[in-house]
A = this chain, B = another copy of it.
């Protein structure tokens, strides 16, 4: 059996990864890009603008860390406003949606292979998995 493997991201080769430079490589919103993988987890970058659909992830916690701009993680009971250098953990099973009134740049951390819209399939927002930059 011949299993092809995508080229590893820079980080797997013990190479420096510059986050700002990686953000210059794409412009689209809500489409996460993998920049590093470790211990079955993926570090991803995503640009966001507008409001994402409500969803949750079974058995997966997510971390959102703001790199640039302002970003909001909404839960059914409250909203958490984040600026640069601020993060929040969304525990598994907790319904949430994310939003940004102006474009923001976010660092995501979650297990490999997570679908961005969780339990929901959305024509506009569901993004391909496994995209590396």
Contacts and interface: CB of A to CB of B under 8 A. Distances in A.
A82 B19 CA distance: 11
Interface residues of A, number: 39
Please classify the interface of chain A as helix (H, G, I), strand (E, B), loop, or mixed, using the class held by over half of its residues. strand
Interface string A18-45: 1110000000000000011111010100
A99 interface: no
A14 B91 contact: yes
Contacts of A87: 11, 16-17, 19, 35-36, 43
For the complex formed by this chain, how many copies does it contain in all?
Answer: 2
Interface in A38-66: 38-39, 41, 43, 60-63, 65
Given A17-B88, A87-B11, A90-B14, A110 B39 contact: yes
